[in-house]
Amino acid sequence: MRIDGRKKNELRPMAVTRNYIKHAQGSVLIEVGDTKVICTAMIEEKVPPFLKGHKQGWVTAEYEMLPGSTNTRKSRDRNRGKIDGRTMEIQRLIGRSLRSVIDLSKLGERTLWIDCDVIQADGGTRTAAITGSFVALHDALSNMVNKGMVKEMPITNFVAATSVGIHQGEPLVDLCYEEDSNAEVDMNMVMTEKGEIIEIQGTGEERPFSKQELEKMLALGEESIKKIIDFQKETLLG
């Protein structure tokens, strides 16, 4: 049994509250165990300079852990004068993950901004942000379709993410902070509903890992992401 009583292949309880922020075109509060992230999707009627005149849109993301999200206050990036490397890496990951399942040519020349604010962290903040952001993005695009801003839904596939790792010699899914901080191997996986891999971030934190261990983690992650996508569908489509 794990720290919180789960089985090795058991995800933490997940909840999504839609329309969480009044002014955003799409917004959710996603809770994965004790990790809580607010994800919003908002429309900007322009694209980055490199896309002007190309008749396509863009999806980009920003991510931040708020000061009270951890047990010691986390200073805001603006107070340090720059975005730290971890934050930059995560927001690029979120943007890549969402763009991979969007037909940008159907957006018109507009940008969808995805903002992910971690209000409570207990491991898996980046994977929760990706999973929640997709729901917020789906809601925003549905609103655009309903208002005639786009002719058809630009989403081509569902996407979700989870963490896997090896803790005390055992492969585990959806690690909480205590498991993650003591994991021998740490990995994040992003996949589509079709089982296509968008990104795998895997590191031997305390030791190298074998090909056989990698295969076990990949299988565990894929099985779990399918469950998360089923949850997204139930949340969005009823």
CA atoms within 13 A on the CB side of 116: 32
Residue 92 phi, psi (nearest 5): -65, -40
User: What does the block give as tokens for 184?
Assistant: 């021998």
Annotated binding site: 86, 124-126
Residue 235 phi, psi (nearest 5): -65, -45
Q: What would the mean pLDDT of 9-17 be, rounded to a whole number? A: 98
Residues pairing with 12 in the sheet: none
Confidence of residue 1 (pLDDT cuts 50, 70, 90): confident
- Cα dihedral across residues 174, 176, 180, 183: positive or negative: negative
pLDDT at 88 exceeding the cut of 70: yes
CATH number at 231 reads 3.30.230.70
Domain membership flag for residue 228: yes
Q: What is the pLDDT of residue 81?
A: 67
Domain membership flag for residue 182: yes
pTM more than 0.75 = yes
pLDDT tens track for 168-227:
999 999 999 999 999 999 999 999 999 999 999 999 999 999 999 999 999 999 999 999
pLDDT at 77 exceeding the cut of 80: no
Domain that holds residue 137: 14-237
Of the listed ranges 2-16, 74-88, 115-129, 151-165, the least confidently predicted one is 74-88
Annotated binding site for phosphate: 86, 124-126
Domain membership flag for residue 47: yes
Residue 202 phi, psi (nearest 5): -130, 135
Number of neighbouring beta carbons within 10 Å of residue 113: 18
For the chain, what is the domain count? 1
Domain membership flag for residue 84: yes
pLDDT at 80 exceeding the cut of 90: no
Round to whole Å and give the CA distance between 62 and 115: 5
Round to whole Å and give the CA distance between 121 and 69: 5
Domain membership flag for residue 4: no
